[in-house]
Amino acid sequence: MSNGVNAKDVARLAGVSQSSVSRVFFGGASVSEKTRQKVLAAAEELGYIPNEFARSLITNKSKIIGLVMKGIKNPFYPQVLKEFTVAFKKLGYSILFVHTNHDEIQKEDVKMLLHYNVAGVIITDAALSLNLSEDFKKFKIPLVLFNRKVEKQEFFSVCTNNLEASRQIAEFLIQKGCTDMVYISGDRNTSTSLEREKGFFEVVEKHQLPYERYDSDYSYQGGYDTTRLILKKGRIPSAFFVANDIMSFGVLDALREHSIEVPGQVKVVGFDNIDMASWPIYNLTTWEQPISEMVDETVEYMLAEIEEYTGATGNVEIRGKLIKRKTT
Amino acid sequence: MSNGVNAKDVARLAGVSQSSVSRVFFGGASVSEKTRQKVLAAAEELGYIPNEFARSLITNKSKIIGLVMKGIKNPFYPQVLKEFTVAFKKLGYSILFVHTNHDEIQKEDVKMLLHYNVAGVIITDAALSLNLSEDFKKFKIPLVLFNRKVEKQEFFSVCTNNLEASRQIAEFLIQKGCTDMVYISGDRNTSTSLEREKGFFEVVEKHQLPYERYDSDYSYQGGYDTTRLILKKGRIPSAFFVANDIMSFGVLDALREHSIEVPGQVKVVGFDNIDMASWPIYNLTTWEQPISEMVDETVEYMLAEIEEYTGATGNVEIRGKLIKRKTT
DNA sequence: CTGAAAGCGCTTACAG
DNA sequence: CTGAAAGCGCTTACAG
C-alpha cells in the first residue's frame, strides 16, 4: 500500500477511472479541465503521491541519475555534487550517490545503478574500463565522464580546457620572469594531471627553460611532502605549477615553514579555484574551473541522450580562466 | 524490458518456474541446491539483474535511504556523506542525495523521497518542522537528525556530547590560564551551536570569569570577519572557543594578519576535527566528533526501525574527545 | 522443494 | 475526452 493511498483511491473519491487519475499526474495526455479539477481535489484531500517505482516499472525509465564520485575530500567535488543535485532536481531527477575508492570504477560500484535502471550515470574523479562501459552501452544508459577524459574518445566527457589552461599558466609565469619551474602532478593515471603537465611543459620547452616534474597525488599532504622533499635538496625553483588547489595549499604551507617568500622568492599557481583559494592566508593564483557551465553542459547532454539514446562520444571542453591573486 | 533480461527469461533457460528464480535471488526461501545452480548459471549467462523497482513495488519497501544535507561546504559533511554511503552500501542500501538551502527543510526538499518510498531518511545540518515530520510518521518512514537535535525530543537524533565537550574545553582553557574568553557561535538556530555555548559559559561563569559571545554563521568568512571586528575594538581576549573548525581557520587567519601570536597571546579551540585541523598551518586544538561511531549508531537505529517501525525518539550522544594541538 | 496464479501501483494502447 | 483491460517485473501465499 505504498504510502497509504493509490491512484485507485483517488479515482474512487473523484468519481473517475484510475486511467484519468494517471493522465492528470503523468501529463502529456488530454484530460478535460473538469476531470482534472476533480482528480486534483481528491488527490489533495487524500494526500496522494504517485509511486515512482510503479511508474518506472511501466515506463522502463527511471528519474534517477547515478553519480559516482571518488575524491570527496577535495572540496571541488562536493561543490560539483551540489550543483548536479540542484540542476537535476529542477528537471525532476534525483541523484543516487555512489562513492568509490577505485581510480577505475569497478563492477561492484555500479551494480546498484543497474539494479535501479538509472536514467544516466555521471562519473567524476575516476575512470572506467571499456569492459564495464559495455554494460552501460548494452542497456543504453548515457554516461558522462566529468573532469576526466579517455584518450580515444570512447566516452562523452566534460572538462575544462586543461591543455590551453596550462599553456597560459606557463606563459604567464615566464612573463613574470620565472626561469626554473616545477610541476607537481596529481595522480598520473588521470587525464587531467597529464594534460596539465603536457601543456605546461610544452611552453616551457619552447622557451628552452629548465623544468622538473614531481609526482604527487592531488592531496594536501602530497603537496606538502613533495615540497619539503624538494627544499631538502636545497633547491628553490622560481615557480611551482601544482595540479590542483588543495595540493597548492600544502606547497604554500611547506614554503611558509621554511620562511620562503611567496611570491617574492617562489611563485605558485594552482588549479580549480575552490573557495579556499581566496582565503587570505592562501590567496592563491589559480585556474578557475567553471563548474556551473560544466554541469550545465553535462546535464544538457544527459537530457538529450535520455530523450533519444545515441551513445555519442566526444570530449567537450569548457573554457576556464586564470584568477590572479597574491602567489604570483 | 528493463535492462533486457528478466526473471522469466532466466526461468526458461534454466528450465524452472519464475518463482524459483525469484527465490534464488531474493533469499530467505528454500530452494534445492540443484535448482539454485541451474538458475545461477542461466542468470550468469544472460546477465540477469533483478529489477529493484518491481521488487520495491511488491515488497513495499525500498532499499533507498534519503540523505538530506545542507552544509556541503563544511568538509565535515562530505565526510559524513561518504561514511553513510559506505556503511549503507554494505547493507544493500543506496543513498538518494538531497541538497537543501533551508535551515529548516521544506516540503519540496523531501517530496522526492516520498515519491521513492524511501526506507529511511537522515537529515544533517538542518532541522525540520513538526508539520513535515508528520508525513514521515504517517508513512512510517524512520527519521534521524544527524548532528542536530530538537528541544523536546520529538525525533531521534545522533550527536556528539556537545554540552560535556564544551564544558571540558572551558575547563581546559581556564586551566591553561585563560581569563577572558570569547565564544564565536555558529548559526544560533542550530542546537549544536547553542549547546556548545551553554556548556562553555556554564563553566566560565562558575569560575566567575568574564566572557563574551559573538554571533557568526559556521563559515570561514564568518570566523574571519568576526575576529577582525573584535580586534578592531582593540580587544584581545585570552581565548576563542569557536563553534566549528572551519570558522576557527578564519579566526586564525585574521589573528595572523594582525600578527597576534597563537597560542602565546590568544588560544583558539575549534570543534569537529576535520582533516584540515591537522594541517601544519593551522594545527588546531579541537573537539573530535567521532563520525564513524555516530554513523554506526545512526545505521543501527535505521535498520531496527526498518525491520519494525516504532517511531522511537530520543537523543543519542556519542562521546568525542579533545585533540590538543598547537593553538592552545 | 516447486509451480501456477494473484497482485503491487502504475501507464498506455484500444475502443467508444 | 474517458474507461476497461493488459502488462511492466517482480514476490508470495497457496497447493501439491
Size of interface A-B (CB pairs under 8 A): 153
To the nearest whole number, what is the mean pLDDT of chain A?
A: 92
Coil, helix or strand for A147? coil
Mutation for testing the B interface, residue in A6, A48, A52 having most B CBs under 10 Å: A52
Q: Tell me which residue of B231, B221, B76 sits closest to A278, measured CA to CA.
A: B221
Which residues, in sequence order, are bridge partners of residue A144? Answer: A122, A156
Residue with cell 568525542: B320
pLDDT in tens, A130-166: 788 888 888 889 999 999 988 778 899 999 999 999 9
Q: Rounded to an integer, what distance in angstroms lies between the CA atom of residue B209 and that of residue A284?
A: 41
Is the domain defined by B64-160+291-319 classed in CATH 3.40.50.2300? yes
Q: Rounded to an integer, what distance in angstroms lies between the CA atom of residue B164 and that of residue B198?
A: 10
Name the CATH superfamily housing domain B7-50: lambda repressor-like DNA-binding domains (1.10.260.40)
Which range, of A95-109, A162-176, B285-299, averages the lowest pLDDT?
A95-109
Give start-end residues of each CATH 3.40.50.2300 domain in chain B: 64-160+291-319, 162-288
| Residue A113 grid cell | 545503478
Which residues neighbour B196 within 8 Å (Cβ) at sequence distance 6 or greater?
B162, B163, B165, B166, B183, B185, B241, B243, B271
Chain A residues near residue B254 by CB distance under 8 angstroms? 280
pLDDT, residue A171, reads 96
| Nearest nt by C1' to B57 Cα | C8
Give start-end residues of each CATH 3.40.50.2300 domain in chain A: 62-160+291-319, 162-288
SS (H, E, C) B44-101: HHHCCCCCHHHHHHHHCCCCEEEEEECCCCCCHHHHHHHHHHHHHHHCCCEEEEEECC
Residue with cell 533480461: B5
Q: Rounded to an integer, what distance in angstroms lies between the CA atom of residue B236 and that of residue A124?
A: 45
pLDDT, residue B152, reads 78
Q: What percent of chain A has pLDDT over 90?
A: 70
pLDDT, residue A2, reads 47
By DSSP bridging, strand B127-128 and strand A127-128 are: unpaired
Whether the Cβ atoms of residue B81 and residue A97 lie closer than 8 Å to each other: yes
pLDDT, residue B3, reads 60
Mutation for testing the B interface, residue in A96, A116, A132, A253 having most B CBs under 10 Å: A116
pLDDT, residue B125, reads 85
Q: Rounded to an integer, what distance in angstroms lies between the CA atom of residue B95 and that of residue B81?
A: 9
Residues in chain A: 328
pLDDT, residue A303, reads 93
Q: Which CATH architecture has domain A62-160+291-319?
A: 3-Layer(aba) Sandwich (3.40)
The CATH code for residues B162-288 is 3.40.50.2300
Query: Per-residue confidence of chain B (328 residues) as pLDDT tens digits?
Result: 346 788 989 999 999 999 999 999 887 778 888 899 989 999 998 888 888 889 989 888 889 999 999 989 999 999 999 999 999 999 989 999 999 988 888 888 888 888 888 999 999 988 888 788 888 888 889 999 999 988 778 899 999 999 999 999 999 999 999 999 999 999 988 899 999 999 999 999 999 999 999 999 999 999 999 999 999 998 899 999 999 999 999 999 999 999 999 999 999 999 999 999 999 999 999 999 999 999 999 999 999 999 888 999 999 999 999 999 999 9
Secondary structure E strands in chain A: 64-69, 94-99, 104-105, 120-124, 127-128, 143-146, 156-160, 181-185, 211-215, 239-242, 267-269, 286-288, 314-318, 321-323
